[in-house]
Amino acid sequence: MTEAASDHANNACLAELQAALGPQGLRLGEQIEGPRCTDWSGHPPVRPLALLRPGSTAEVSAALAICHRHHIAVVPQGGLTGLAGAAVPVAGGVALSLERMKAIEAVDARAATLTVQAGATLQAVQEAAAEAGLAFGVDLGARGSCQIGGNLATNAGGNGVIQYGMMREQALGLEVVLADGTVLDMLRPMLKNNTGYDLKQMFIGAEGTLGVITRAVLRLRPAPLARATVLLALPDFEAAMALLSRLQAAFPGALAAFELMWRDFVELSLEWKTAPPPFAEPHAFLALAEVTGASEAALQQALEELLAPALEEGLVADAVLPPSRAQAAALWRIREATAEFPTRMQPINFDISLPLAVIGDFAQACVAALEQRWPGQRSVRFGHLGDGNLHLSTDARSLGGMSLAEAESAVEELVYGLLATYGGSVSAEHGIGLHKKPYLGLSRSPAELAAMRQIKQALDPLGLMNPGKIF
């Protein structure tokens, strides 16, 4: 198509979109704010042909049908807090924001379900659940900005995974609009429904490549009446594994966190003075565990009973059981040093997962390999051990003289190459988007990739939904 013909086709499409969505529903040119052109990943911005802001499922459906007729690509956008570049617009395509569809439509406290439009923030869902005396099972740092649609599309994890699972486990029903405008109503609020393929699961974690999530029925959980925290000093990784399984056995379904920090992470955190040193001596590992239950006193007592033999056996070298939530919060600040990464170092971040049994070996082998290649390099390790999720951050400034882009690609090649030999996944929580596309084949077999492409082809034969992402 010539440039003039293409402009003509785009203008025809935009005129139809304008008529379908009204003045509030379409932004063009300079009306599209800069932040809409990229996401938290820092990917270079791309200005879309238009920003669509539908106000209802019917408008999403009309907009997608129009784009489909005109072969215009559509990139769904939530709160733009994604870390993999998955919501970055594509040149010549439109971005479709769910920001006007943010109603909490219903909370059923008896059935413990909540029905919501996809543009509601995670925090709005958490607050609505709390008002009904219940809790929502997923929590993460971007809660005030990220949207339920984005959380579902990335199958987000975060703080509560060990207790309640990822977004996939919170979704009872979904409403999705396909690339051609077809509305799939899968909003059935039942846990059990074995009637053929569970289609809604296809769209969870699909990063907007199969359709636009417009509404969801979510599961709520009983709000815990009390919490207790313990900080454990551990001699080795095996001790961490043993403590994790003892806690899971002693607090079935009530272990809310088990955050493992390697000594390199703790030293950096204490160097930055995020919290006072909790122990006189340094230890190989610290683990922060949190349990929930009916009374704080009962939880404290149960933790003390669990700790006494572990201390005697040498499984735990030392422990702090903070008597108040304020003192517990002070201990959590050691772990929260991650918030300072972007300002205090030039971090190359990894969000990987591995079979539980090999996390310790991998973490050791990985830092040894980095050290051999770049003597004096600085890397720190921490993770949600119960979820098999390891975070590794290497300070690019400690690698000597490379540009950030060179350092990133050299470190990624080393880390992901080693990860593949341990059977790990290049993305535990954040997704593939644009950034991890080159490494997807390390975590998925050619047969799995072929099946994924067939599903994409079946649901979006023109390849218009978020093209160029994941594959």
Q: Which residues bind ligand FAD (CB under 6 A)?
A: 39-40, 75-83, 86-87, 98, 118, 140-142, 146-147, 149-151, 153-154, 156-158, 207-208, 212-213, 429-430, 466, 469
Closest distance to ligand FAD from the beta carbon of 138 (Å): 8
C-beta closer to ligand FAD: residue 176 or 307: 176
Taking the complex as a whole, how short is the minimal distance between the CB of residue 214 and ligand FAD, in angstroms?
Answer: 7
Report the nearest approach of ligand FAD to the CB of residue 57 (Å): 11
Q: How far apart are CA 272 and CA 264, in angstroms?
A: 13
Nearer to ligand FAD, 99 or 318 (CB): 99
How far lies 129's CA from each of 110, 172, 222, 382, in Å?
A: 12, 15, 10, 30
Nearer to ligand FAD, 209 or 300 (CB): 209
Q: How far is the CB of 270 from ligand FAD (least distance, A)?
A: 22
CB closer to ligand FAD out of 95 and 320: 95
- Looking at the Cβ atoms of 278 and 383, the one nearer to ligand FAD is 383
Closer residue to ligand FAD, CB minimum distance, 143 or 219: 143
Closest approach of ligand FAD to the CB of residue 412, in Å: 19
CB 54 within 8 A of CB 26: no
Q: Which two tokens stand for residue 425?
A: 């996944």
- CB-nearer residue toward ligand FAD: 163 or 377: 163
- In angstroms, what is the minimal distance from the CB of 102 to ligand FAD? 11
Nearer to ligand FAD, 393 or 466 (CB): 466
Minimum CB–partner distance for residue 469 and ligand FAD (Å): 6
Instruction: Say how far apart CA 422 and CA 435 lie, in whole Å.
Output: 21
Question: In whole angstroms, how close is the CB of 392 to ligand FAD at the nearest point?
Answer: 15
- Closer Cβ to ligand FAD, 55 or 235, answer by number: 55
Shortest reach from residue 389's CB to ligand FAD, in Å: 9
Question: Taking the complex as a whole, how short is the minimal distance between the CB of residue 11 and ligand FAD, in angstroms?
Answer: 25
Which is nearest to 18 in space by CA: 61, 57, 54, 70? 54
Question: Which strand ranges, in their side-by-side order, compose the sheet holding 171-177?
Answer: 104-108, 113-117, 212-219, 171-177, 183-186
Beta-bridge partner residues of 227: 292
Torsion, Cα of 264, 268, 271, 276 (10° steps): -80
In total, the chain counts a number of residues equal to 471
Nearer to ligand FAD, 150 or 173 (CB): 150
CA 24, distance to chain mean position in Å, is 30
Query: In this structure, which amino acid lies at residue 452?
Result: M
Name the percent of the chain in helix, strand, coil, to the closest 5.
40, 20, 40
Give dist(CA 451, CA 402) in Å, integer: 39
Give yes or no for a contact between 319 and 233, defined as CB atoms under 8 angstroms apart. yes
Nearer to ligand FAD, 279 or 332 (CB): 332
Please name which of 249, 247, 254, 253 lies closest in space to residue 287, comparing C-alpha atoms: 247
Sequence-distant (6+) residues with CB within 8 A of 446 are none
Nearest to 220, CA basis, from 128, 149, 85: 128
* Least Å from the CB of residue 183 to ligand FAD: 13
User: How many angstroms separate the CA atoms of 88 and 20, rounded?
Assistant: 24
Farthest-apart Cα atoms in the chain, separation = 80
CA distance 69 to 179: 10
Closer of 150 and 322 to ligand FAD (Cβ): 150
CA distance 329 to 409: 37
State the residue number with the nearest CB to ligand FAD.
150
Minimum Å gap between C-beta 178 and ligand FAD is 11
Q: How far is CA 298 from the centre of its chain?
A: 33
Going by C-alpha positions, the residue among 150, 163, 165, 189 that lies closest to residue 431 is 150
30-55 core/surface letters (b: 16 or more CB in 10 A; e: else): eebeeebbbbbbebeebbbbbbbbbb
Instruction: Give Cα 43 distance to the centre of its chain.
Output: 17
